A and B are shown apart, each in its own frame.
Chain A
Amino acid sequence: MPSSAIAGKTGLIFFPAFDWAISPTHPEREERLLYTRDQIFEEGLMDLPQIEEYKPRLAENKDIARTHFCVPDVESQVTEAHLIAAGSTLTLADALEKGEIRNGFALVRPPGHHSMRVVHGNRGFCNINNMAILVEYLRSRYGHKRLAVIDTDVHHGDGTQEIFWHDPDVLCISFHQDGHTLYPGSGFVNEIGGPQALARTLNVPLPPGTTDEGIHYVLDNLILPILEEFKPDLVLNSAGQDNHYTDPLANMRFSANGYARLNEKLAPDICVLEGGYAVETALPYVNTGIIQAMAGLDYSHVREPDYVPGAFVQSEAMWREIRKTVEQVNKLWAEREEMVQMALESLGDFYRRKKRIFYDTDMINESQEESVRLCPNCPGYMTISSSAQRGYGTLNNAFCVSIPRGACSSCREDAKEEYEEHLEDRRIGYVYLQDKERDKFKFCNNMTHTQKGY
């Protein structure tokens, strides 16, 4: 059957960065989207009236600083390729808000979902988090409050999770191959967000070998019902393609058709490409399927050459595990309000946690101490003290202060005081003040006493 007509176009930005790679033989290399280009161009998808192709723009440094603390500064952490990939998502956001498109897909590289709030280098092939930058842009530019990020990459979206950990208005759900068996080794059911935002971060670890059926079970019985309740302004998909059964870096058994059907059911407003490294056997087909599903086109003809329907079957043990995980996560979601209440009663004026972050690509070890003011009048300001080491030497020390949107005057004053106090501290290289309320971002190099802002 030919496709039925749905009003409105699907915006597409295809930016394969044919002149950018982490290294010549790295999975994140020039060739990654080459066959995808061949397939979607040969299909003539861009010529169809349902699809509008856009040219990406460069994100501004300010768009990056709204989300990240780049150490020492934005310019030294990002290349033009990163700014274009991030800028693609913003171009689609603008087109969506102007009503030019019904939904959009940023089919771009480099990816971003392993990048956290503080950036000392590249981890998990990511420098800056395209999805988080999009979320912050949608909020500051268009005033959206409630947003949902569904991470469908095979790896845990730990960067996105970390950035929105304390934010009750951004629902982050990531399903992925179990962290016992795959990078980054996190994303367990008990990772559910900060005390003010418990169960607004949800993780669904899945056993290696999970098939279309398993993933659609999670979608139908967990993700879609929760979205129905959360009622976000927009649904965003961190659309990794490495759950595919041919992906060389993971062990799942998801198909191109499964991906297309997932996007049809999830109906995301914007999709942003993350990982996916089966450059020849998966990406051309998965991307074609996702574009077609988003545009309301018939995707039933998309099929990998070696795909045999019904060939992948989940064992009863896998089914039990998946059902149990879904049940656990649903319970957490159901109890979220009580959990928040209990947590806040048991804590004082501040919530503090320490964590260690390893940058696998750049071999950096970072230790952080994070503190959030549990303010009765506003979301509370946050500080992060970060020390990054490479080998036996210290790379950089940074102190970061963030003023949230809707900050009360007392939190604002305290946050500014924290920033000023650390300007004199010679043990800290860089001090940052991120004012999301006023969309102003500044930092100081303590060694040279120079201040800069975005």
Chain B
Amino acid sequence: MLIGIDVGGTTTDAVLVDGSRVEKTAYVPTDHNDLLRCLLGALDELVRGVDVSKIERVVLSTTLITNMIAEKKTEPVALMLIPGPGANPRDYNLGPSIILDGAIDFRGKEIDKLNVHQIKEAAARIKESGVSRVAVVGKFCQRNPAHEERVSQIITEVLPGLKIELGHRVSGHLNFPRRAATTKLTLATKESYGKFAAFVVQALKERRISAPVYILKADGGTLPLEGSLQMPVETIFSGPAASIMGVMALTPPGQTSVVVDIGGTTTDLALILSGRPLLSSKGARVDSMLTHVRAFAVKSVAIGGDSAVDVNGGGLTVGPERRGPPLCLGGSCPTPTDALRVLGKSNLGDLERAKEAMAGLAGKLNCSIEKAASMVVDSVVEKIAAEINEMFREWEQEPAYRIWEIMKKEKLQAQSVVGVGGGSIALVPLVASLLGVTSIVPEHAAVANAIGAAVARPTVTLNLHIDTERGEYVTAEDGIMGKVNDRQMSLTQAEQLAGRLLAERAGRLGIEEYAREAEITSSEVFNMIRGWSTVGKLIDVRMEIPAGLLSSWRCS
């Protein structure tokens, strides 16, 4: 049996899954001041009367990191940058930072030396400020980490006991400002996350649950709790990821669908393209900074069941602000929820109060109460449908750098609109009918998020960069470096190396049994020509276990 728990914004949802069957569900209200308590509350309710020895896996999706960052409860971190030539580091929105001399180029060659005196001086200033955590990030240090390591060594000599995080160990992808942001956030959340993980382990032990505990990441993959300690930021935005994985679990495989989660003030939209959830092309934006965290592309539209409805100059507007609950639920402002109640499309709230809300609008619009209600609903449905079309358009317009990518990019059309979350049941069929596609509101739509967490398989990526002229390789994920002796290394050899490194990485993360599910998603070779002869090759291989479902789960 599998357990999935999603600590969401308003409720904490939990499910117990046996094979492909949802055995049991549980909900408790989320208490943002004590996430652990609501998590365990939901768990206790779920496992009451269940033989805990039959639980094979527990997966958690939590807003812990999201909340910490939103509430500015992260630990203070000093940021040291080695930007080298290029952009002015002050043009990046990274907050205060210390700029160091030194530079590495795109091939990993040192082009400017570090200044030891300057580093010591910077360390002294950090000591004075009382900050005990330092993130050190250099441009192109993923191609050669020598500078980051040397800076770390000097700081440690001057200020022993300081906590240091190096950029190349957090991410080896191109994009220095995103790497700096990710490194800083990692260091700022690591200890709190570690404490939370320790509590979870302890609490499960007390409940005699010996099954392994996994955490859900923003890319819809699961990772053993232990393995996730090094990358707490990856767990951000796991809520939407849980819902999207839930839709994958509850709809037929391979479909192109739109996931619609209509809440009180916002509606979240996501795309599943031919069975693969669409990842955000720019990485997750956290605390107004772009990061290297892989996250599903989720579009939040400021419209929902509680959006305020107004009539201005003969026209009707819905949202974006919320002025309290719907009239039919004791509020003071007409909302789409009141309109749905009047039209008999929902049973939520008091009918007479809902009619009162629509009567106010009808008076100003000079039409019947029912007409006013349909106008409100149409306006919401049209807005959501327009945003869905825009999302497909944006996906089609994503940049591409190779001829084949531009030639092959097909125009995809949604086959279905899938509603999850409580607010979607009434509106999703209307959105689907406006778009001319099938509407799906799955049986367990309300707990799709928890199901998604329960049955999501691990994800792993491995980006290997090989420079045969320099005789080196480096992996983007954890900055593992090694030697390559063959200048004429073939792509097949490179792909074999990538496979081996991916298996090793999976082992370190505690998911070695999934390594064989990895696939090569892109590989390319550039011959380096100097003069008229080939002096070496640059090879890039990308492998991944993409977001997917455990093989034990079959959509019924």
Contacts and interface: CB of A to CB of B under 8 A. Distances in A.
B83 A301 contact: yes
B399 A42 contact: no
Given A47-B290, A301-B85, A301-B88, A20 B529 contact: no
Contacts of A288: 86-87
A354 to B, nearest CB: 36
B87 A47 contact: no
B177 interface: yes
Contact of A44 (B90, B92, B403, B527): B92
Interface string A266-305: 0000000000000010001100100010000110111111
B397 interface: yes
B85 A81 contact: no
B544 to A, nearest CB: 19
Nearest to A21: B527
From A19, A44, A48, A54, name the one whose CB has the most chain B CB atoms within 10 angstroms. Answer: A44
B147 interface: no
Interface in B389-407: 396-404, 406-407
Given A41-B174, A44-B178, A24 B403 contact: no
Contacts of A3: 88, 91
B538 A34 contact: yes
B524 A43 contact: no
A16 B401 CA distance: 6
Contacts of B290: 44, 47
A140 to B, nearest CB: 24
A287 to B, nearest CB: 11
A415 to B, nearest CB: 37
A14 B107 CA distance: 20
Given A24-B527, A80-B407, A43 B401 contact: no
Contact of A58 (B83, B139, B174, B406): B406
B87 A305 contact: no
Contact of A35 (B83, B106, B396, B399): B106
Contacts of B140: 38, 42
A55 B92 CA distance: 24
Contacts of B111: 305
Contacts of A43: 86-87, 139, 176-177
B205 interface: no
Given A25-B534, A47-B178, A80-B403, A302 B524 contact: no
Given A30-B526, A34-B526, A47-B290, A305 B105 contact: yes
B282 interface: yes
Interface in A299-318: 300-305
Contacts of A45: 87
Contact of A14 (B401, B406, B407): B401
Contact of A25 (B177, B399, B529): B529
Given A47-B290, A297-B87, A301-B83, A38 B406 contact: no
B87 A284 contact: no
Contact of B399 (A31, A53, A302): A53
B103 interface: yes
A24 B528 CA distance: 10
A55 B399 contact: yes
Contacts of A302: 85-86
B398 A55 contact: yes
A56 interface: yes
B403 A81 contact: yes
B139 A42 contact: yes
B243 to A, nearest CB: 27
B177 A280 contact: no
A47 B403 contact: no
Given A43-B176, A44-B87, A19 B403 contact: yes
Interface residues of A, number: 49
Given A25-B533, A38-B174, A31 B526 contact: yes
A2 B106 contact: no
B97 interface: no
Nearest to B90: A2
A150 to B, nearest CB: 26
B529 A280 contact: no
A285 B105 CA distance: 11
A61 interface: no
A78 to B, nearest CB: 12
B12 to A, nearest CB: 34
Contacts of B528: 31
A1 B91 CA distance: 9
A42 B106 contact: yes
B527 A303 contact: no
B401 A37 contact: yes
A56 B405 CA distance: 11
Contacts of B526: 18, 30-31, 34
B44 interface: no
A2 B88 contact: yes
Given A31-B529, A42-B176, A280-B107, A20 B403 contact: yes
Given A30-B526, A300-B88, A44 B401 contact: no
Nearest to A44: B177
B340 to A, nearest CB: 37
Interface string A1-17: 11100000000011111
A84 B406 CA distance: 9
A81 B89 CA distance: 35
A39 interface: yes
B112 interface: yes
Interface in B494-551: 524, 526-529, 532-534, 538
A81 B407 CA distance: 10
Interface string B230-264: 00000000000000000000000000000000000
Contact of B86 (A34, A35, A39): A39
A44 B399 contact: no
A237 to B, nearest CB: 21
A42 B175 contact: yes
Interface in B92-142: 92, 103, 105-107, 111-112, 139-140
B106 A38 contact: yes
A285 B353 CA distance: 66
Nearest to B532: A25
Contact of B529 (A1, A29, A54, A304): A29
A84 B402 CA distance: 10
A39 B87 CA distance: 10
Interface in B269-325: 282, 290
Contacts of B103: 305
Contacts of B398: 55
Contacts of A300: 88
Interface in A45-85: 45, 47-48, 53-56, 58, 80-81, 84
Given A34-B538, A47-B177, A80-B403, A292 B87 contact: yes
A20 to B, nearest CB: 6
A42 B174 contact: yes
A38 B465 CA distance: 12
Contacts of B527: 24-25, 29-31
Nearest to A38: B106
Contacts of A58: 406
Contacts of B403: 17, 19-20, 80-81, 84
Contact of A39 (B88, B106, B407, B524): B106
A41 B406 contact: no
22 contacts: A1-B88, A17-B402, A18-B524, A25-B533, A30-B526, A31-B538, A34-B538, A35-B107, A38-B174, A42-B86, A42-B106, A43-B86, A43-B87, A44-B87, A44-B175, A47-B282, A80-B406, A297-B91, A298-B88, A301-B83, A301-B87, A301-B88
Q: Considering the complex of A and B, which 9 residue pairs feature the smallest CB-CB distances, nearest first? A: A305-B111, A38-B106, A2-B90, A41-B174, A44-B177, A298-B88, A303-B85, A42-B174, A43-B87
Given A29-B529, A44-B175, 15 more contacts: A1-B90, A2-B91, A18-B402, A24-B527, A24-B529, A25-B529, A35-B107, A38-B174, A42-B86, A44-B290, A45-B87, A80-B403, A280-B107, A303-B85, A305-B85
